[in-house]
Structure 1
Amino acid sequence: MTHYLKLLALEVRRFRYILAGMMLFALIVECLAVATEIHFFSNRFGIKEGTREPGVIPDTLSFVEVIRNTQQGFALGILVPLVALIAYVLLIWYRDWFGRHPFAYRLLMVPGGRIPLYFAKLTAILLFVLSMLAWQLLSMPILKLEYAMLTPELLKEPSIFTDAMYASELFKLLLPLRFEQFLINYGLGLLAVLLVFTGILLERSFRISGIVYAVLYLALNVTLLVLATMSNELPLYPSETIAVCLTIYGLEVAVALWLSLNLITRKVSG
């Protein structure tokens, strides 16, 4: 356990500045989107410092409407860090093989076995994803404070905080209202990380032929997932459809873990 925690701390230290940069980027982009929407809406009705042009009766602008009207800004603030995290799923392994004296040799030879190395990298990815999700939650009160400071009094309208959160379509995907949907979304995300890890270890174990094995392996798993989603078209009860999907998901997770741990302990040589 100590070996695993040290490796996890190492992975967190190596990514901490990138993670902080991603958080800052998301906050700046979303703040700019909110400020721009408030500015344009205020100018549309001639609102300035609590006054309005004669004969112009402006609509109110609630925080919910601001978030709903800034979908593109929120998409940029969320998708860029998401793409960076997806890229790091690959980089978290391959960066250890970069350079004249690859760090991977030292990691693979550290006493305590190689299995903690695998789970440290997997846990690090999950921590980074959850950290970005938590940061997005923490950003909402900051954005609401910005709304309160920038919106003229004539335009302000009370709004429920949760309504504002789910006014963003991407936020509905990141944090679904239904717990079952949350498990599905993040369960599929976890499976995707496991499959990519297995593909990387296949390539590291067998090099050129490993690329072919990895592509075939990933294609097979994606095909099985697609077939699982199509099971609702079969003459099955809903409970049976769910059982089929869970069985395929469980088998893919189990095989990915079994194959990855076997590769990292017996095949990967640095």
Structure 2
Amino acid sequence: MKKYLKLVNFEFNRVVKLFIVLLGITLVVQVAGVIIKSKDYLNMANEKINEDLIPKAQFLTDYGQFSFLHIIRSLWFVGPIALCAAGVAFYIFLIWYRDWVGKNIFVYRLLMLPTTRFNIFFAKISNILIMTLGLVAFQLILLPLEAMVLKWMVPDEFRNDMGIEEMITSIPELNIIIPSSFVELILYYGAGLMAVSILFTAILMERSFKWKGIIAGVIYSAIAVIVFISPVLLQEFVLNSYFYPMELFVIEIVMAVIVLAASVWMSGFLLKKKVTV
């Protein structure tokens, strides 16, 4: 366990600069978005009320109050989240391939460490999970801060305040990365963990068998996806909705566990027996 934790810490130290950059971009862009969108609304209100002489009540009826929805649905808010997601997706590949870069290939030392090679796999996948949860936690911290900035800028009569939960549930995409219940948290991030483990296995196949490994990785990924969704396919096209929704849900969880376990085992086998440097 101690060696595993050291590996996790080591891997995180290698990505901490990228992590901090993503946090910084999210902070600056989203707060800037709150300020800019608020100013745009206030400028429009000033123009309509003071220049076009529209009564304030009529303006609020025609254009509505300003709320955090105007910000959440803008590129200022969604853009940094998409960038963070892309950054994590890119790092899923980088976390393996960078070890093979350079004259003094780092993977030599990594594979020669006096610890089971399973720890290398678990440390890398743990680092992806830590990075993802860290970005999500930072977003949760930012939401009340951004709501406070909005309150400072927009007067009460022009503002419709929203709670944090209402902000999160207003956009389905945001509700996925910030689940509203512990069960949803386990399901969404469990599915993400399974997907990452499949990708890791495909990457290790490519590292083990080169060009043949690319084909093997694609085939393995396709088989894993088919195995995972096979209960739904059977339910829809063969069994004519034989299972109750809850039964199908439980079966899907079992299939996900099987796919995850198979990917972990295959990755461990490749690391021990097949990966070459």
TM-score by length of 1: 0.90
Measured in 2, the distance between the counterparts of 1:151 and 1:248 equals 50
**2:199 corresponds to:** 196
**Alignment pair present for 1:100 and 2:103:** yes
Q: Relative to structure 1, is the Cα distance of residues 79 and 103 closer, same or farther in structure 2, using a 3 angstrom cutoff?
A: same
**Gap runs ≥5 in structure 1:** none
Partner of 1:215: 218
Residue correspondence of structure 1 range 1-270 to structure 2 within 5 A: 1-46=1-46, 54-57=53-56, 58-59=59-60, 61-68=65-72, 70-233=73-236, 234-270=241-277
- Residue 104 of structure 1 aligns to a residue whose secondary structure is helix
| TM-aligned CA deviation for residue 249 of structure 1 | 1.1
Kindly state the Cα deviation for residue 235 of structure 1 after the two structures are TM-superposed.
1.8
Return the letter of the residue paired with 1:30: Q
CA RMSD in angstroms, aligned pairs only = 2.1
Partner Cα separation in structure 2 for residue 156 and residue 130 of structure 1: 31
- Describe the SS at the equivalent of 1:46: helix
Comparing 70-79 with 149-158, greater Cα deviation is found at: 149-158
- After TM superposition, the structure 1 stretch with the greater mean CA deviation from structure 2, 197-206 or 244-253, is 244-253
CA gap 1:88/1:7 in 2 versus in 1, 3 angstroms? same
- Measure the CA separation in 2 of the matches of 1:243 and 1:231: 15
Higher RCO structure (Cα 8 Å, ≥6 apart): 1
Amino acid at match of 2:180: L
Seen in structure 2, the aligned counterparts of structure 1 residues 268 and 232 have a Cα distance that, compared at 3 Å, is same
Partner deviation per Cα, 1:26-61 (whole Å, 9 max, x = no partner): 12221222222211111111179xx95654314263
Output the amino acid matched with 1:24.
Answer: G
Shift of 1:179: 3.5
Judge which range, 103-112 or 220-229, deviates more. 220-229
The runs of 5 or more residues in structure 2 that have no matched partner are none
Specify the code of the residue in structure 2 equivalent to 1:20: I
Q: Distance in 1 between matches of 2:232 and 2:33?
A: 37
The CA distance in 1 between the partners of 2:250 and 2:176, in whole Å, is: 24
User: Partner amino acid for 2:111?
Assistant: L
Separation of aligned partners in 2, 1:45 and 1:173? 34
- Answer whether contact 1:30 1:77 (CA < 8 A) is retained: yes
CA contact under 8 A between 2:229 and 2:252: conserved in structure 1? no
Cα distance change on mapping 1:160 and 1:240 into 2, 3 Å: closer
Amino acid at match of 1:97: W
Identity %: 28
User: Match of 1:66, as an amino acid?
Assistant: H
Cα 1:33–1:229, aligned 2, differ >3 Å: closer, same or farther? farther
